[in-house]
Structure 1
């Protein structure tokens, strides 16, 4: 039997939207050898909201990096365009053992990495062993996706989900895991688990991650990755803030329809719009919701994705011990006027969150009600906790827009005003998205921070499991709380349930526990993000996972 999952209803609807996206060139127009005619441009230029952190997807944690690496790298399992369903990618098929602990992958033959090295079962096993065998620095930070999904590394032994890989022949890789889980092999569709050239990984000392101040230092390979995808990296011009990809003419599948793909980094949304209007880019992500109507009136295409995300305020009880008190965490929640925030700062269709996952995901608890906006209750709880007038270092990211957070500063200022209105002294902190903010969050450097998550795949484990499942490595520092260990155990137990109905019921119970008993963070809202592209752009399918690919895209002259 092959494991597949059902797409969320909204994602199914998105499949019908085989619409367009991105890009144009500041360069001389030219015919596209891959499209069979001279009526399209040879370059797509897309306005990105932030810079990529690096180009090795294994160590990436943010959407701006994945937007780039997704065009270059492929995994064993892929995502069907316009949905949240998995489909074959570098593996043509897969089969589990009766106990769900051994998975046999039949691989595509004739595939090569850009450096000419063959993609085969040995390469698969090398990649998995590389991902599993990380140093302490990587384990505690940038290898977060592996830690979240696999629950541990090689050094954790039997406690880790991944237990080994065997190449039984050139086109057959057998992966062993420690327990049955609903997320396998679905989680292998994550960009972080893409297959990369073993030769290039070795030569680039790929696993040599070091600590550098509040951030991390990455080896040479992180700037020169080697994958199998339809595009490959040409150059990253940090001065001009552009990332240029070129078509992989030796690609195993259908070649990219456009010769070059350029991501132009434009942090300011209004500037992105101006560049679209001027024709210097062909599209951009995350247009301001207030601009949607005007953009369409000007002849552009606004492609609205289903909301498959959560925006939240993270709390760090390790850095600020006052946050260990449930009454303090509850007070912060009651202080926030989220209804007003959704109405004034988020697009039509946004919702106040009742839990840390959207309502399309199995395990969503329909009985949970949102915390009310209640200043008096917030102040009373702070008084009971002896935390009146407490100082809270509260951070937000700059130089970025996110699907769940179109304007971080405006959203932050609204939340900050609510907190100050109940007597909390807010210490304002900000940093560029990929210029210290994410690394500081990973390192537990803020008391509280504004962040969010767009689901990578349709599973409760990908939301609450990602946030709270790994006791050793999570941004909410649950290891220092009275509830953290039990919450991790409950999440692992729920994920291991084979029966879908029983598993959903278990997750509903855990969601209630998180929101009513633990409250490790403050779930804020769910928001439908959008892409905007010129009328000349054809062939892009908007993704509920914000996982668009550009190899099918053309831009008319």
Structure 2
């Protein structure tokens, strides 16, 4: 991989990293709060971070990615070979791994997963993106699978380390997508699904015979915890109070106003800057007035990113400097094109024919300059951030109407394209995450027409030489900002609040939780 990823950091204490010299103790139940429920536990379909957390525990991946170095290391695959043109990937599986229904993790299972994952369509857009150009998987022998693409797929090895391409049993791949979401997922992971109550809780139970963990994990036997319960608690104040009272052991999304007091009171804050696409606005370029590049650039110039961090968030969060988060391989610092320049924003709007109206909101051809801003439940601090951005935009004459939707409506909202600005982010520890967001042939959050950006994104995914590939990734980032297809605002920092009794919680390479090594004292 090109680039180095940030390691997870803690605030001190014993909660996140484990007490010095402490011996891990098996047993116990971990109760962990999440902010929302996507309504699905199929790792190949989920996109909400809160639902990824439990899904990740159910499945293993062919490979893993070291969060400190970005190196791809063995997991279910002991080793692999890649053809010089990056069209063929041959995986040699470790013997003895099984799904929780007793079926083997073998080449047949690999084929069943890759043959079906890319065909789930828009409900599994990330999986489809990873498998673009997929031709077939050949079963060389029971423990050898050869995955072939019709064109180079430079990003595929890293994709095999993600939860999205985590393996489920062949029986699960045969079930309808809706059934897979609620009760149809059987994985080979260290935990199995005990119960699922939508919008309330998800209970996972330890798999006692588990023996085939990632080579990054501290120990290779079964998990320490007997059970994990994910409680859905949308309100940050209730999560904070529950953590303090001991009703929960961890909070997946500590609110900025609670960080200092939790640290002072002996709780551990564990955090990691998430690679991928930062939090910001996908701009609907197919709707007036954002079909005009000048208006899109004015929106970006009107936003004071440092004020958002200083007012709403904390120093653990950074303003963006690129369409990619700084922890992403291939990131290029383009901060000069992401400055706060309200006078420039006003001039851009003046030149585009938008004149100040009597109430301060600009008008053109009798129409006010009003934008619809869409966001979803479970997005930490979203309302406070967007209300501040609303004020910043108004200062240059742009009105913004904020609309919140349940996260379960995300797919419908994106397909309908009824928004002007869509608030969100996409995680990914490979620059191919740009293709997932900006390809005109995918979900196409930005309503882009086919053009030069498609060509750059397709070429980078098909370029095996890393230096050449990163040059294309740089051009893509520059083109995105030149045309202001996106208005990035802040880098996503995952901040966990943990009881002092909780040890060895891991935030992996793409800042997802992994609980195999976690234990309670």
Structure 1 length normalisation: TM-score? 0.83
1:525-557 Cα offsets, whole Å, 9 max, x none, are 22433211111112223335222211211112x
**1:108-507 alignment, distance < 5 Å:** 108-134=94-120, 139=121, 141-151=122-132, 161-202=133-174, 204-206=175-177, 218-219=178-179, 222-238=182-198, 241-253=200-212, 254-309=221-276, 310-318=278-286, 320-366=287-333, 368-387=335-354, 388=363, 389-398=368-377, 400-401=378-379, 406-434=380-408, 436-437=409-410, 439-454=412-427, 456-457=428-429, 459-462=430-433, 464-479=434-449, 484-507=450-473
Q: What's the secondary structure of 1:523's corresponding residue?
A: strand
| Contact 1:394/1:447 (8 A) holds in 2 | yes
Which stretch shifts more, 336-345 or 353-362? 353-362
Shift of 1:486: 1.4
Q: CA RMSD in A?
A: 2.7
1:508 corresponds to: 474
* 1:10 aligned onto 2:11: no
The gaps in structure 1 that reach 5 residues or longer are 23-34, 152-160, 207-217
| Contact 1:430/1:437 (8 A) holds in 2 | no
Shift of 1:324: 1.3
1:303-351 Cα offsets, whole Å, 9 max, x none, are 1223535111111123x23211111111111221222112212220433
1:32 corresponds to: none
Change (3 A) 1:445 1:84: farther
Shift of 1:71: 0.4
Which stretch shifts more, 229-238 or 281-290? 281-290
2:62 corresponds to: 76
1:462-505 Cα offsets, whole Å, 9 max, x none, are 2x2222135343211112xxxx4210101222333333333323
The gaps in structure 2 that reach 5 residues or longer are 213-220, 355-362
| Contact 1:81/1:541 (8 A) holds in 2 | no
Shift of 1:8: 1.6
Shift of 1:15: 11
Change (3 A) 1:295 1:369: same
Change (3 A) 1:172 1:290: same
Q: 1:43 aligns with which of 9, 29, 38?
A: 29
CA distance in 1, matches of 2:328, 2:198: 39
2:217 corresponds to: none
Shift of 1:409: 0.5
Shift of 1:57: 1.3
Shift of 1:121: 0.7
Q: What's the secondary structure of 1:299's corresponding residue?
A: coil
CA distance in 1, matches of 2:108, 2:435: 30
Shift of 1:225: 0.9
Shift of 1:440: 1.2
CA distance in 1, matches of 2:39, 2:13: 30
Count how many residue pairs are aligned between Structure 1 and Structure 2. 496
Which stretch shifts more, 13-22 or 266-275? 13-22
Q: Runs (4+) of structure 1 moved beyond 6 Å?
A: 15-19
1:236-286 Cα offsets, whole Å, 9 max, x none, are 1237x1110011123233111111110111111121110011101111122
Change (3 A) 1:497 1:476: same
| Contact 2:88/2:148 (8 A) holds in 1 | yes
CA distance in 2, matches of 1:15, 1:82: 14
1:28 corresponds to: none
CA distance in 2, matches of 1:225, 1:308: 27
| Contact 1:335/1:418 (8 A) holds in 2 | yes
Shift of 1:381: 2.3
CA distance in 1, matches of 2:210, 2:440: 37
Change (3 A) 1:42 1:52: farther
Change (3 A) 1:361 1:18: farther
| Contact 1:112/1:252 (8 A) holds in 2 | no
CA distance in 2, matches of 1:234, 1:535: 26
Q: What's the secondary structure of 1:478's corresponding residue?
A: coil
Structure 2 length normalisation: TM-score? 0.88
CA distance in 1, matches of 2:371, 2:62: 44
Shift of 1:437: 3.9
CA distance in 2, matches of 1:262, 1:292: 23
Shift of 1:361: 3.4
Q: 2:71 aligns with which of 79, 85, 100?
A: 85
CA distance in 1, matches of 2:338, 2:96: 55
| Contact 1:147/1:470 (8 A) holds in 2 | no
Change (3 A) 1:190 1:443: farther
Q: 1:521 aligns with which of 486, 490, 506?
A: 486
